Amino acid sequence: MFGKMKNDIKEKLKEVREQGLYKDERVLLTAQGAEITVAGVAGRKKVLNFCSNNYLGLSGHPEIVKAAKDAMDRWGYGLSSVRFICGTQDIHKELEAEVSGFLGTEDTLLYAACFDANGGLFEPFLDEHDAVISDELNHASIIDGVRLCRASRYRYKHSNIKNLEDVLREASKARYRLICTDGVFSMDGDIADLKGICDLADKYDALVMVDDSHATGYIGKTGRGTPEYCGVQGRVDLITTTFGKALGGASGGCTSGRRELIEYLRQRSRPYLFSNTLPPGVAGATLKALKMIEESSEPGKKVSENADYFKEKMKVSGFDIVPGNTAIVPIMLYKEQLALTMAEKLLDKGVYVTGFAYPVVPKGRARIRVQLSAAHTKEQIDRAADAFKKAGKELGIV
Ligand SMILES: *Cc1c(COP(=O)(O)O)cnc(C)c1O
């Protein structure tokens, strides 16, 4: 059988390459941080990194690394079990309580990844009597999670409250209605209108679920995420988020929210029941990350200031950037090949960024997504902005 499939797959791979959509992975030779070494760069020169989700600069932070080591010394390397058999340690319970305290929720359930949190969220609660109502730009893991349940699926236009209201009316016959949205949309860096969403949820009797992966730790005055930013803490029924971005960046995720919902997920959510949870080192480091954020909101402020500073410089240079209030700054180039060429040129100039093309973003909406970090210095941001200007001139963009 494989012979036939091999030829088909080779053909498909060729098409991906011809469309300029083939994704090569660059290999880092150092820890994650503002400056990294990347394999294939001549002379192994350090490059500035502007494409990780290391918003608070915690990924390579010595205190986080130490917390992971300490947790491993105390609790070992792994559990060799799912949680309900013999895979729950006190550090997992401590982390769940800490996340609940941090997010202002009633209870929290850990997963190996936020992808799993979303994968296991819908099927336990919803069946053919129910309706899931999704923003059209929601993350792939929400889309996949919804596919695993038998509820009717509705989509509303991206962040379009008027359209959401129409859809809620359409879904009025369902037993339960669940609105789900990303808190921060990763490709455009915009924040969901959670106030508008929660108001409509009240009016049309719906639940609200927010995936705050790109927000937890740095969006909102004290880093509690988009519910804090939008002033709706306590009105969101379920929050999913990752520990693999601002909170140290290793891996892991959770679902947090109303007590009975979390209790039921603990009984029924398949990625929770049938997959190991976080290794203790990751649990310990994530705990440390949350405590650091609670102690000081300075890094959260710094990343926002860095983003504003970079955006201003890019505007002055004449780049087309998507406006927003997060550390994600999309530089629009529209053409697939141009975005990839631009990224190559920037790497030559010592700035590592990634071009995003279809299918990650819609066709004809290719871009370079720049992500700022609290770890960036002004001087590093200046260097990056200068490199953009030079590369943009060489390619006739600005
Ligand atoms: C990154 C991301 C995820 C996946 O998180 P992992 O913990 O790496 O699986 C899920 N949802 C959204 C919105 C994300 O941005």
Residue 270: the pLDDT is 98
Angle at 290 between CA 287 and CA 291, to 5 degrees: 85
141 lines ligand 1 (CB under 6 A): yes
Choose one of 245, 254, 277 to mutate for the ligand 1 pocket test, by most ligand atoms within 8 angstroms of C-beta. Answer: 245
- DSSP-derived letter for residue 42 is G
What are the b/e assignments for 112-151, b being 16+ CB within 10 Å? bbbbbbbbbbbbbbbeeebbbbbbebbbebbeebbeebeb
Question: What is the pTM for the complete model shown?
Answer: 0.97
pLDDT at 240: 98
pLDDT digits (tens, 9 = 90+) for 194-237: 999 999 999 999 999 999 999 999 999 999 999 999 999 999 99
Pick the CATH number of 62-295 from 3.40.50.720, 3.40.640.10, 3.40.50.2300, 3.65.10.10: 3.40.640.10
Q: Is the CB of 326 under 6 A from ligand 1?
A: no
Name residue 209's beta-bridge partners: 180, 238
Residue 172: strand, helix, or coil: coil
Chain-centroid distance of CA 117 in Å reads 13
Share of the chain above pLDDT 70, in %: 100
Instruction: Return mean pLDDT, the chain.
Output: 96
Residue 345's H or E segment, with its range, is helix 336-348
| Structural tokens at position 356 | 């995003």
Total Cβ atoms within 10 A of residue 16: 12
Q: Looking at ligand 1, which atom is closest to the CA of residue 114?
A: 7
Class of domain 20-49+297-394: alpha beta
* Domain residue ranges in the chain: 20-49+297-394, 62-295
Does the annotation mark 245 as catalytic?
yes
β strands within the chain, DSSP E: 35-37, 46-49, 107-111, 131-135, 152-156, 177-182, 207-211, 238-242, 253-257, 328-334, 351-352, 354-356, 366-371
Residue 242 CA, ligand 1 centroid: distance in Å: 6
**pLDDT, tens only, 264-282:** 999 999 999 999 999 999 9
User: Which atom of ligand 1 lies nearest, measured to the CA of 186?
Assistant: 15
* Fold agreement (20-49+297-394, 62-295): no
